[in-house]
Structure 1
Amino acid sequence: MAAAGASVLVTVVTLIRRRPLGAAASTADFALACTLLVLAPHVLAPGERFGTWVAYQPGYALSVVITASGVRSLVLWAGGLVSVVVCYLVYLGDNGAGMTTTAMGNELTYVVYAVVARMLFNYIRRIAHDADASRALVAELARGEEERRARVLMHNGVAVMQLLANSTPGGPRSGLADLAEVEVQRMRAYLRGRSTATEEDERVDGGGQVTLAPLVERMCDRFADLHADTLLDLGASVRLPAGDAEAVESALESLLLNVRAHAQAHNVVIHLDEDSPGRWALTVSDDGVGYDADAVAPGVGLRDVVIGELQHRGLDVAIASAPGEGTTVTISGSCPPSDQGEGHDRLADVR
């Protein structure tokens, strides 16, 4: 009854805890198995110790050796195994002398099953540890990606709000207000978990592509006070997946915000060109104060909104600047086939 009750209890506890027995329970289990083996000769006839249903003690001890192999303490496991083997010799007594081969086989059964079970438990633990580490890594990568998306999304909006707050009464408040409205809509879409480039957007055709030139023209209209010269005819046919076009739009907005806030430029030129079949380039140049690109680390706008987001989508970004010589930023990439635009956009979003 003690062995049956212990077996049921161990099974129930293991299922509830969903893990092997702890050190205390394993110690008690080993102790019970050894006690039953030592006391068995007093309740069993000499002929009942081998190959009978009456002698349950060796089988129970084997089940204990297997289940207790999951205990983390190597000393406890090895000590329990040795104790069971020694107690089994006591259990055999003088009967083992006439059946040496069978007795040795039974002893080895304890050892082999214990080692195999121990290896299995350790292997499962390693798999579980690797799975936990993988989940933690995925969670960390997802958190980092979400932080990057938030920085990219919020940067232009914050810059617009700052310019709007610091603008003079005679300044370009109307254009800034329009930009602020666009950024508010973009932030609202982000907070609601929706893409800011929706299928309902009139700029997106049935293949999920956007013509780049009108997008650039509309963005320049929002910065009318810069009086930018737009040369877009050579790239009038450039079409991009909606996600790539949205990234280029945000990058262009960030660049023009930098021109307005820092460049002190008199002239701004925006040039779109399709220089070879499938290759395009968008260049933003100003004659402002410039900066030393090697000595000055890029801010959030250049680092995340322009370089980071565009490179994340497979587009190239080149920045040339020097003190007193203005700044030129070139964004370039390849135009995907029209029938692949939607799939390319989804792939970029997954990356």
Structure 2
Amino acid sequence: MRIRNGLRRVAELPTTRAGVERAFSYFTVGVRLGTVAQMVPAVRLGAGRAPDETAYLACWGAAALAAVAVSAATFVRRRPLGTLASVLDFGLACALLVLGPLVLAPWDRFGTWTAFQPGYALSVIITAGGVRGFGVWAGSLLAVSLCYVLYLGGDVEGDMVPTAVGNVLTYVVYALVARMFFGYTRRIARDADASRARAAELARREEERRAQVMMHNGVAVMRLLTEQGDAVSRARLVDQAEVELRRMRSYLRGGGRDGAGPDAPGGPDGPDGPDGRDGAPEGGRRAEGEGRRIALVPMVRRVCERFADLNVIASVDLGTGLSVTAAQAEALERALGSLLLNVRVHARAQQVVVHLDEEAGGGWTLTVHDDGVGFDPSSVTAGVGLREVVVGELRRRGLDVGIASAAGEGTTATITACPGPEGRPVRPTVRAAFAEAP
């Protein structure tokens, strides 16, 4: 059970740079202690057959102690050895190979675990693939290979030559494979960390955009409430403030997104339950909202009634029978409200005409025109209201947006749903009379 839990912890390591380095430390521990385990069965036989038993045991003990020390160090550090420690590790492997002919019987020097030195050197080479410095790694690999040639001396001849050459190549091949394994895995971890950071930044920006969209109209209404005005206009602003308050409260509670508007039936502040909670799971409410159709004309008239003090003329009879998805209805309601708020704050208009017309093939066009002061498109940058609440949100809902204006000639905003082949909506192209903010 303990082994199973340990394997599970290793498998569940995070795919971050720190997690990868921790995995490398486990890999190092496994290779080094596994080598010691292979060395143990032959130690007694090797000591008995060695020319100098004490020297043999001293070399064997140094190798075992170094393997345990490296394992403990990497486990505690949670990453492979540093450059200096790796150089010392390679140095011990080279020393053991050079001393091998002095502590081993000639017939044991090749192809047995009583001659533990070549196997120990291989474990050092494999686990040193995580050394950061390429020069240190390459130089140490060359040194071990040369020391192995010295270890063999002139005792290899005849049929043993290919095997000796193969052993040297084993050092080189395993070193290259380990190096590529460590390097590629680290690269994957770096890319994963960068992707997570990018995703977090995009999520932050998206949430910031959502907050701007949800709060913009409410902030505009509250600003108007603080200005001087007659009782009638303030009463209308209070009604609008209540609508925006419900919308903002829904957003802060985690609702009011993806088309589930606060005034929609079954929405976060709808009439189906206390405080707008209908008791249905969030996924069910979202799926239901996405499949629901909202009549376009009543929604447009409802928004226009909130701005009756602007002398709004709602000519929407030609759109009777048109409907949109709940997501589009929510975006349209916010966008139309934002456009009329802009008229109230900036346009100084005498009249506003809101016109809805059904196009051939099931499309429609909603036009908002005011006879106010207008603006020069070449010198005006879109603010949050036009850029996000109007253009940005409607684009995300598959609607085309055009805003045209000229100084002294008012402003016209056009929202269009264009049918594509077989009635499918086409990807919209935005036509804006102002410069987009960066």
Output the TM-score relative to the length of structure 1.
0.89
Equivalent in the alignment of 2:432: none
Within the candidate set 49, 57, 62, 1:2 is matched to 62
Equivalent in the alignment of 2:83: 23
Equivalent in the alignment of 1:156: 217
- Please list the CA deviations of residues 140-166 of structure 1 after superposition, one character each: whole Å capped at 9, or x if unmatched: 211111111111122111111111101
1:11 CA drift (Å): 4.0
1:15 CA drift (Å): 5.0
* Structure 1 residues 193 and 13, CA gap change in structure 2 (3 angstroms): farther
Query: What letter corresponds to residue 75 of structure 1 in structure 2?
Result: G
CA distance in 1, matches of 2:289, 2:87: 71
1:206 CA drift (Å): 9.0
Equivalent in the alignment of 2:392: 308
Are positions 1:275 and 2:336 aligned together? no
Within the candidate set 163, 172, 176, 2:233 is matched to 172
Superposed, 1:23-42 pairs within 5 Å as 23-42=83-102
Percent identity over the alignment?
59
Equivalent in the alignment of 1:46: 106
Within the candidate set 409, 413, 419, 1:325 is matched to 409
Are positions 1:123 and 2:207 aligned together? no
Equivalent in the alignment of 2:197: 136
CA distance in 1, matches of 2:72, 2:417: 62
Superposed, 1:254-269 pairs within 5 Å as 254-269=338-353
Query: What letter corresponds to residue 308 of structure 2 in structure 1?
Result: A
CA distance in 1, matches of 2:88, 2:239: 75
* Structure 1 residues 11 and 142, CA gap change in structure 2 (3 angstroms): same
RMSD over aligned Cα atoms: 2.4
Equivalent in the alignment of 2:266: 200
Superposed, 1:35-74 pairs within 5 Å as 35-74=95-134
CA distance in 1, matches of 2:83, 2:339: 64
Within the candidate set 91, 109, 112, 2:170 is matched to 109
Superposed, 1:281-296 pairs within 5 Å as 281-296=365-380
* Structure 1 residues 239 and 335, CA gap change in structure 2 (3 angstroms): farther
* Structure 1 residues 78 and 207, CA gap change in structure 2 (3 angstroms): closer
Query: What letter corresponds to residue 170 of structure 2 in structure 1?
Result: T
1:80 CA drift (Å): 1.1
Equivalent in the alignment of 1:344: none
1:72 CA drift (Å): 1.0
* Structure 1 residues 146 and 184, CA gap change in structure 2 (3 angstroms): same
Are positions 1:218 and 2:284 aligned together? no
Are positions 1:297 and 2:381 aligned together? yes
Gaps of 5+ in 2: 1-60, 272-287, 426-438
Gaps of 5+ in 1: 342-351
CA distance in 2, matches of 1:206, 1:97: 81
SS in 1 for 2:379: coil
* Structure 1 residues 81 and 302, CA gap change in structure 2 (3 angstroms): same
SS in 2 for 1:66: helix
CA distance in 2, matches of 1:206, 1:45: 82
Moved >6 Å (runs of 4+) = 202-206
- Please list the CA deviations of residues 225-253 of structure 1 after superposition, one character each: whole Å capped at 9, or x if unmatched: 11211111111222112121111111101
CA distance in 1, matches of 2:147, 2:266: 79
SS in 1 for 2:132: coil
Are positions 1:95 and 2:155 aligned together? yes
1:300 CA drift (Å): 1.7
SS in 2 for 1:21: coil
CA distance in 1, matches of 2:245, 2:69: 61
8 Å Cα contact 1:290/1:322 also seen in 2: yes
Query: What letter corresponds to residue 225 of structure 2 in structure 1?
Result: L
1:12 CA drift (Å): 4.9
Query: What letter corresponds to residue 300 of structure 1 in structure 2?
Result: V
1:254 CA drift (Å): 0.6
Between stretches 15-24 and 264-273, larger displacement belongs to 15-24
> 1 or 2 for the larger relative contact order (CA 8 Å, sep ≥6)?
1
SS in 1 for 2:373: coil
8 Å Cα contact 2:218/2:241 also seen in 1: yes
- Please list the CA deviations of residues 96-142 of structure 1 after superposition, one character each: whole Å capped at 9, or x if unmatched: 35543322221111111111211222221222222222222212211
Query: What letter corresponds to residue 122 of structure 2 in structure 1?
Result: L
Output the TM-score relative to the length of structure 2.
0.72
8 Å Cα contact 2:375/2:408 also seen in 1: yes
8 Å Cα contact 1:23/1:76 also seen in 2: yes
8 Å Cα contact 1:240/1:335 also seen in 2: no
Count of aligned residue pairs for this structure pair: 338
1:195 CA drift (Å): 2.1
SS in 1 for 2:153: helix
Query: What letter corresponds to residue 327 of structure 1 in structure 2?
Result: T
8 Å Cα contact 2:403/2:413 also seen in 1: yes
CA distance in 2, matches of 1:4, 1:66: 16
Query: What letter corresponds to residue 221 of structure 1 in structure 2?
Result: E
Are positions 1:81 and 2:81 aligned together? no
CA distance in 2, matches of 1:137, 1:329: 35
1:22 CA drift (Å): 2.2
* Structure 1 residues 8 and 189, CA gap change in structure 2 (3 angstroms): farther
8 Å Cα contact 2:311/2:352 also seen in 1: yes
